[in-house]
Amino acid sequence: MKKSFTLFFIVVAIAATLISSPEFSIAKIFLDKIEKEYGIFAKRRAFALVQMMNSAKDKDEMEKMEAVNDFFNQTPYASDKTTYGVSDYWATRLEFIGHDKADCEDYVIAKYFTLKELGVSPKKLYMTYAKSLKYKTAHLVLTYYETPKSIPLVLDNYNYKILPASQRDDLVPIYSFSGDELFSAKQAQIGKLVPASSAQKRPWDELVITQQKE
């Protein structure tokens, strides 16, 4: 009987290993590049991102969203004028990590690509342009639809708690677009956004995070 239980636990352990998702990692050469361009603290933030993703990779979608939302919302808000010297700039996730400053579009882009890498279907994720009644300004949030007919959940840098859109009376939704439409939305001057410059005609997700079996 004792041998049977031992064999059972061995089989369970092997099965758990087999169904576990591959580990996320960033190549050392890329981490060194981040440190050279943005400094040692940016390198540590990139490493912390990977650690968060590995701790969340096998959780359900709600737990993944909570982990990602909490992680990026730790970054201080700053206007594009403060960070980049221009009135509007849609930063990549690498720039988000590098500068450790962000405005609403930057939070949304970073959360979107991270959730996508964690296995959340892009078909469930939308970038929603809205009006913030509380701050009387244009705003961008990430919305998650469990099903096409579901009331979306809102991931926001104003209100850190993930809530159904029906409970966000402070937001008036105006227009939503998918991640695949991100560059088109930028060119279409959503809200007060200006057209994309040639400098921004590059992949939005340029933080190279890979997955591999241990």
CATH of the domain at 64: 3.10.620.30
Q: pLDDT (tens digit, 9 = 90+) per residue, 28-85?
A: 999 999 999 999 999 999 999 999 999 999 999 999 999 999 999 999 999 999 999 9
- How many structural domains compose the chain? 1
User: Is residue 18 domain-resident?
Assistant: no
CA angle 194, 197, 202 (to 5 degrees): 120
Task: Compute φ and ψ for 211, nearest 5 degrees.
Answer: -120, 140
User: What residue type is assigned to position 25 of the chain?
Assistant: S
Structure tokens that stand for 93 in this block? 């996730």
What pLDDT was estimated at residue 206?
75
User: Is residue 210 domain-resident?
Assistant: no
User: Is residue 3 domain-resident?
Assistant: no
Q: Which range of residues forms the domain containing residue 103?
A: 24-204
User: Is residue 190 domain-resident?
Assistant: yes
Count CB-CB contacts under 10 A for residue 141: 26
User: What residue type is assigned to position 208 of the chain?
Assistant: V
Q: How is residue 1 annotated by DSSP?
A: -
Share of the chain above pLDDT 90, in %: 66
Residue among 75, 21, 22, 29 at smallest CA distance from 48: 75
Pairing of strands 153-155, 137-144: antiparallel
Tokens 């996320």 -> residue: 24
Q: Is residue 10 over pLDDT 50?
A: no
Q: pLDDT (tens digit, 9 = 90+) per residue, 101-153?
A: 999 999 999 999 999 999 999 999 999 999 999 999 999 999 999 999 999 99
For residue 163, the surrounding DSSP H or E stretch is strand 163-164
User: Is residue 176 domain-resident?
Assistant: yes
CA angle 144, 106, 209 (to 5 degrees): 80
Residues 6+ apart with CB under 8 A from 17: none
User: Is residue 180 domain-resident?
Assistant: yes
pTM of the model: 0.83
User: Is residue 1 domain-resident?
Assistant: no
User: Is residue 110 domain-resident?
Assistant: yes
Task: Please give the sequence-ordered ranges of beta strands (E in DSSP) within the chain, or none if there are none.
Answer: 23-25, 125-132, 137-144, 153-155, 163-164, 171-178, 210-212
